Structure 1
Amino acid sequence: MTMEERPQPATAPSLSEATRVWARIGLLSFGGPAGQIALMHRELVDERKWVSESRFLHALNFCMLLPGPEAQQLATYIGWLLHGWRGGVVAGTLFVLPGFLVILLLSTLYTLFGETSLLAGIFYGLKAAVLVIVVEALLRVGRRSLKSTLARFLALAAFLALFLFSTPFPLVILTAGLIGLFVSRARPGLIAGPTGHGSASTDDLAPPAPASLSGALKTIAIWGGLWLLPFLVIAILSPGGAYAEITAFFSKMAVVTFGGAYAVLAYVGQQAVGHFGWLAPGEMLDGLGLAETTPGPLVLVLSFVGFLAGYRNPGLLYPLGGGFAGAFLATWVTFVPCFLWIFLGAPHIEKLRNKPALNGALTAISAAVVGVILNLAIWFSLHVLFREMQAVALGPLRLDLPLASSLDPYALVLSVVAGYLLLRLHLSIPLVLGICAAAGLAILHFSA
């Protein structure tokens, strides 16, 4: 990537207009990656038509292969497509910032009072609306991606691999890509169906800035330097406390977090409790609960861990200031690498759009992504509609299935209402979220 603004196509929004939309997406991005990808698809592809379906899926396929939160990286990628590196920084930052501020507030309340029931009621209602958004996105993306028998088979296979066998997420995507690559060379029409993945000639965006060695070196110098900046600041200021450990540990997590937050939560919890002593047993689950009820990536749970680490090991700072510093450091070294991956890789990925064999691979990955979203949608719906899960052994398989007796009738009714408002009456997402949030607060109050 070069650090220069790329020319804008006639259909592109202004940067100020895009900034307002990215802020809106950041504020409404509840529900983990499935809900966030669904929201972006609705806002950017369906309603505003800023990017085409093929360009959206092309970017998503690449982001699925990267470490870190794929939804935030997708926002960064599309922001870069629209307005160069400045657009990527705006989109990626605004996707994270609202959730970070909320998790900072909730972490403060948690440490000072141990009580967030009011916000829990609000977010209880929000989850029901997000469930409908996820289902709607699944249907839309499925209709547009599954245009051949092989594509539908790959989607089903990806879902079963994740749901039944807990296959590593990157392995599913890579396998689908290899299948698409080989099939497209042997029988080009078998995977693409009647329309294919799309090409630059049918897209509405001007080509992005070309990949170059000088641009790549500049990107590594700038974003790699920003990634390492906290290490230099800590070394100069010598504040004591847990700050150096926080920075080093979460920098390592930024490189290995393939498949989202759940892929590393067990390891982070084990290290934070057993090795570093930052958290007490059970507090990792409290942090996950807080992160699930905030906008932004679920991996913001790491900000909660960083807050507690800094709060309890503040060094020269006061405990609350130490908590803020710890949360900021954990967030910085978690998300700055995401900008590095996108700005370094996106120009090369865009060059591949005109390669027929690679378009076949991306078509296969798009089909697998439908299975991934289906798996996320089912996981999310089970945790919204049921209060308890149980491990069930089916031969060599062990599945987490809901207890029928733990069905939450209020969540079920809220989800049905949200579906009617959004899918039948076509009310706006903010209005539906507001209605469900108020209903969730009322349910919590009257059922207490």
Structure 2
Amino acid sequence: MLPPSYTLQHLVIYFLKLGTWGFGGPVALVGYMHRDLVENKKWIADDDYKEGLALAQLAPGPLAAQLAIYTGYIHYRILGATLAGIAFVIPSFLMVLGIGYAYVHLGGLPWMQAIFYGVGAAVIGIITISSYKLAVKSIGKDYLLWGIFIVLAVTTFITEEENIWLILAAGVVVWFVKVPPAFSRSSLPAIAPVLAQAAPVVSGNAKLLQVAWFFTKAGAFVFGSGLAIVPFLYGGVVKEYQWLNEQQFVDAVAVAMITPGPVVITVGFIGYLAAGFPGACVAALATFLPCYLFTILPAPYFKKYGKHPAIKAIVDGITAAAIGAIAGAVLVLGKRTLTDIPSIIIMVTTAIVLFKFKKIQEPLVIAVAAGVGVLLRIILLSI
């Protein structure tokens, strides 16, 4: 491997910026990483990016955070993975802490719904363009991969969840079609990621122990993008433990969507409402620690065997399936978010602007959409 053309400090600064300004959820974030690190800066090779995306899709936990961790691992190993992951998560964690404090002391966030109306529609436009660019760049003109993409997009849209077995099967299909295994030869190098689970030890507070255990399970057993964790969280924090009521949970999801960085960071907001500042810290640590381990433990195997033709075929199939699942998730989000004509207009306008004017930054689009949402709510209330 050639020496990196960037320093670890450069990478940490990049992820601090992405965690601060990266709106749009997991689909947009993985698209930003490809655009910035692979296409523009050329710090990361496209094959390394694909390996990271495949590993992030296979392992449980938040997709974007795992890809950030793997990106740090590529050239700077454990230290790079650790610092990249922390830099990516910490800005949005501090933001949700501030919002949680305001929420508790100001009695809810009624203004958030107005902002989310515009932002939610703009986010759909952003992730639509991001997933389109990601698909075109990663799949190219390979009809087999496009077929896999379509199958996963349709099944994800219909079932409203990502099917890990279909994603794995896609890798096997491409392997058998492009590099048929010769079973009489020596067996293919095995890639068996070690699945480890680390439950943080919190003493002296029963609720904190409950928070730690529940969010460790959330980080260790929920597959797919950060949005996939929402149903799991609802069942635990609203139904089982009753830490939040229905409206508070809806507000927590809105917080996740209007703040930059990984969607999963909403666990910090939920933890704050459940057990204050210690609860926010425990919830975030318990959620992200398993995904960190699930990334760095199998990473050496991906780095060692990733260039093997059979492994590369498997990774290509998994990547196409992952991007298809992401596209299906965009459709699901669009169905839930675009509920009237104004929201559809905001979404389409956002997509057209970003497609035509590539130098316009997403935070500016988000700010304009938030203003439009507030303005529309004021107009509707006055009628």
Quick check: TM above 0.5? yes
Cross-structure match for 1:36:
29
Q: Does the C-alpha gap of structure 1 residues 153 and 111 become closer, same or farther in structure 2, counting only changes over 3 Å?
A: same
Where do residues 273-288 of structure 1 align in structure 2 (5 Å cutoff)? 273-288=238-253
Q: Distance in 2 between matches of 1:352 and 1:62?
A: 13
Where do residues 242-261 of structure 1 align in structure 2 (5 Å cutoff)? 242-261=207-226
Q: Note if 1:151 corresponds to 2:145.
A: yes
Where do residues 135-150 of structure 1 align in structure 2 (5 Å cutoff)? 135-144=128-137, 145-150=139-144
**Match for 1:97: what amino acid?**
I
Cross-structure match for 2:353:
421
Q: Does the C-alpha gap of structure 1 residues 438 and 274 become closer, same or farther in structure 2, counting only changes over 3 Å?
A: closer
Cross-structure match for 1:177:
171
Cross-structure match for 1:433:
366
Q: Does the C-alpha gap of structure 1 residues 125 and 24 become closer, same or farther in structure 2, counting only changes over 3 Å?
A: farther
Q: Distance in 1 between matches of 2:318 and 2:140?
A: 11
The number of equivalent residue pairs is: 370
Q: Report if aligned partners of 2:157, 2:331 keep a CA contact under 8 Å in 1.
A: no
Shift of 1:128: 4.1
* Higher Rg: 1
Where do residues 32-111 of structure 1 align in structure 2 (5 Å cutoff)? 32-111=25-104
**Match for 1:412: what amino acid?**
I
Shift of 1:293: 1.8
Greater mean alpha carbon deviation, residues 31-40 or residues 133-142? 133-142
Q: Note if 1:271 corresponds to 2:236.
A: yes
Cross-structure match for 2:190:
none
Q: Report if aligned partners of 1:38, 1:138 keep a CA contact under 8 Å in 2.
A: yes
Where do residues 190-229 of structure 1 align in structure 2 (5 Å cutoff)? 227=198
Cross-structure match for 1:412:
344
Q: Does the C-alpha gap of structure 1 residues 280 and 119 become closer, same or farther in structure 2, counting only changes over 3 Å?
A: closer
**Match for 2:174: what amino acid?**
G
Q: Distance in 2 between matches of 1:442 and 1:138?
A: 29
Q: Distance in 1 between matches of 2:231 and 2:345?
A: 33
Cross-structure match for 1:307:
272
Q: Report if aligned partners of 1:35, 1:131 keep a CA contact under 8 Å in 2.
A: no
Q: Distance in 2 between matches of 1:278 and 1:162?
A: 30
Q: Distance in 1 between matches of 2:53 and 2:143?
A: 22
Cross-structure match for 2:158:
164
Q: Distance in 2 between matches of 1:23 and 1:366?
A: 26
Cross-structure match for 2:189:
none
Q: Distance in 2 between matches of 1:24 and 1:125?
A: 23
Cross-structure match for 1:369:
322
Partner of 1:87, secondary structure, is helix
Q: Report if aligned partners of 1:421, 1:427 keep a CA contact under 8 Å in 2.
A: no
What's the Cα RMSD here? 2.9
Q: Report if aligned partners of 2:31, 2:133 keep a CA contact under 8 Å in 1.
A: no
Cross-structure match for 1:207:
none
**Match for 1:176: what amino acid?**
A
Q: Distance in 1 between matches of 2:283 and 2:211?
A: 6
Q: Note if 1:9 corresponds to 2:13.
A: no
Post-superposition Cα deviations, 1:62-81, rounded to whole Å, max 9, x if no partner, equal 11011110110001111221
Shift of 1:326: 0.5
Q: Which runs of 4+ in 1 moved over 6 A?
A: none
Q: Does the C-alpha gap of structure 1 residues 149 and 275 become closer, same or farther in structure 2, counting only changes over 3 Å?
A: closer
Q: Note if 1:354 corresponds to 2:307.
A: yes
Q: Report if aligned partners of 1:120, 1:293 keep a CA contact under 8 Å in 2.
A: no
**Match for 2:262: what amino acid?**
P
Partner of 2:298, secondary structure, is helix
Where do residues 337-348 of structure 1 align in structure 2 (5 Å cutoff)? 337-348=290-301
TM-score, normalised relative to structure 2? 0.86
Post-superposition Cα deviations, 1:420-446, rounded to whole Å, max 9, x if no partner, equal 432223233144334334444444444
Q: Report if aligned partners of 2:61, 2:291 keep a CA contact under 8 Å in 1.
A: yes
Q: Does the C-alpha gap of structure 1 residues 44 and 130 become closer, same or farther in structure 2, counting only changes over 3 Å?
A: farther
Q: Report if aligned partners of 1:161, 1:172 keep a CA contact under 8 Å in 2.
A: no
Q: Distance in 2 between matches of 1:130 and 1:48?
A: 25
**Match for 1:413: what amino acid?**
I
Partner of 1:67, secondary structure, is coil
Shift of 1:151: 1.2
Q: Does the C-alpha gap of structure 1 residues 364 and 85 become closer, same or farther in structure 2, counting only changes over 3 Å?
A: same
Q: Report if aligned partners of 2:118, 2:374 keep a CA contact under 8 Å in 1.
A: yes
Partner of 1:277, secondary structure, is coil
**Match for 2:171: what amino acid?**
G
Post-superposition Cα deviations, 1:90-135, rounded to whole Å, max 9, x if no partner, equal 2211222222122222222222223324455445444444333322
Q: Distance in 2 between matches of 1:117 and 1:23?
A: 29
**Structure 1 gap segments, 5+ residues each:** 1-6, 189-215, 311-322, 387-406
Q: Note if 1:335 corresponds to 2:292.
A: no
| Match of residue 25, structure 1, among 8, 11, 18 | 18
Post-superposition Cα deviations, 1:213-256, rounded to whole Å, max 9, x if no partner, equal xxx99xx8xxx8xx55x41xx33xx2x35111111222222211
Partner of 1:371, secondary structure, is helix
Q: Report if aligned partners of 1:41, 1:137 keep a CA contact under 8 Å in 2.
A: no
Q: Report if aligned partners of 2:220, 2:291 keep a CA contact under 8 Å in 1.
A: no
Post-superposition Cα deviations, 1:113-172, rounded to whole Å, max 9, x if no partner, equal 233244554454444443333222222222231422211111111112212245653112
